Amino acid sequence: MILDRIKESADDAPLQTAVHSLQGEITYGELWDRSDSLAAYLDGNIGNHLPVIVYGHKDLLMIIAFLACAKSGRAYCPVDTSMSGERIADIVNTVGEAAVIITADEYDEKVWPENARLIDKKQTEKICAAGGTISESEWLGGDDVFYIIFTSGSTGRPKGVQITNGNLSAFAEWSSDLGGPRAEKRHGTYINQAPFSFDLSVMDIYTSLTNCCRLWCVEKSLQSDHEALLRYIKQGCPDYWVSTPSFANLCLADREFNDELMPDMKAFYFCGETLNKDTAARLRERFPRAAVVNTYGPTESTCAVTGTVITAEMLKDPRPLPIGTVKPGTGIAICNNEIIISGDSLSPGYLNDPQKTQAAFFTAEGGERSYHTGDAGHFDGDMLYYEGRIDMQIKYHGYRIELSDIESNLMALDGVSEAAVVPAFREDRISNIAAFIVSGKYQDVFEDRQKIRNGLRDRLPGYMVPKIIKFTDAFPMTGNGKIDRKALQKIIQEVD
The runs of H, that is alpha helices, within 193-333 are 200-209, 226-235, 245-252, 277-286, 312-316
Nearer to ligand AMP among residue 220 and residue 453 (C-beta):
220
Q: Nearest distance from residue 386's CB to ligand AMP, in Å?
A: 4
Q: Nearest distance from residue 297's CB to ligand AMP, in Å?
A: 6
CA R_g for the chain = 23
Nearer to ligand AMP among residue 31 and residue 392 (C-beta):
392
207 binds ligand AMP (CB under 6 A): no
Nearer to ligand AMP among residue 165 and residue 480 (C-beta):
480
Nearer to ligand AMP among residue 41 and residue 76 (C-beta):
76
Taking a C-beta distance cutoff of 8 angstroms, is the pair 132, 36 a contact? yes
Nearby residues of 206 by Cβ (< 8 Å), 6 or more positions away: 2, 168, 171, 172, 175
151 binds ligand AMP (CB under 6 A): yes
Q: What is the DSSP string of 74-115?
A: --EEEEETTS-HHHHHHHHHHH-TT-EEEESS---GGGS-TT
Report d(CA 121, CA 380) in Å as an integer: 51
Task: State which of residues 139, 196, 240, 386 lies at the interface with ligand AMP (CB under 6 A).
Answer: 386
Nearer to ligand AMP among residue 6 and residue 304 (C-beta):
304
Taking a C-beta distance cutoff of 8 angstroms, is the pair 198, 205 a contact? no
CA dihedral 84, 60, 124, 106 (to 10 degrees): -40
Q: Which helix (H) or strand (E) holds 185?
A: helix 182-185
Taking a C-beta distance cutoff of 8 angstroms, is the pair 488, 471 a contact? no
Taking a C-beta distance cutoff of 8 angstroms, is the pair 283, 248 a contact? yes
373 binds ligand AMP (CB under 6 A): yes
Dihedral sign for Cα 373, 375, 376, 379, please.
negative
323 binds ligand AMP (CB under 6 A): yes
Q: Nearest distance from residue 245's CB to ligand AMP, in Å?
A: 8
Q: Nearest distance from residue 189's CB to ligand AMP, in Å?
A: 23
Site for ligand AMP in 37-56 (CB under 6 A): none
Site for ligand AMP in 94-133 (CB under 6 A): none
Q: Which residue is nearest to ligand AMP (CB)?
A: 299
Dihedral sign for Cα 204, 209, 211, 212, please.
positive
375 binds ligand AMP (CB under 6 A): yes
Q: Nearest distance from residue 46's CB to ligand AMP, in Å?
A: 30
Site for ligand AMP in 243-302 (CB under 6 A): 271-275, 294-296, 298-299
Q: Nearest distance from residue 393's CB to ligand AMP, in Å?
A: 13
CA-to-CA dists, residue 151 to 59, 68, 139, 226, 231, angstroms: 22, 23, 26, 29, 32
- Measured N-to-C along each axis, helices 245-252 and 277-286 cross at an angle, to the nearest 10 degrees, of 50
Nearer to ligand AMP among residue 151 and residue 352 (C-beta):
151
Q: Nearest distance from residue 220's CB to ligand AMP, in Å?
A: 17
Report d(CA 245, CA 17) in Å as an integer: 27
Nearer to ligand AMP among residue 128 and residue 477 (C-beta):
477
67 binds ligand AMP (CB under 6 A): no
Q: Nearest distance from residue 250's CB to ligand AMP, in Å?
A: 18
The residue ranges that bind ligand AMP (CB under 6 A) are: 151, 199, 271-275, 294-296, 298-299, 323, 373, 375, 386, 389
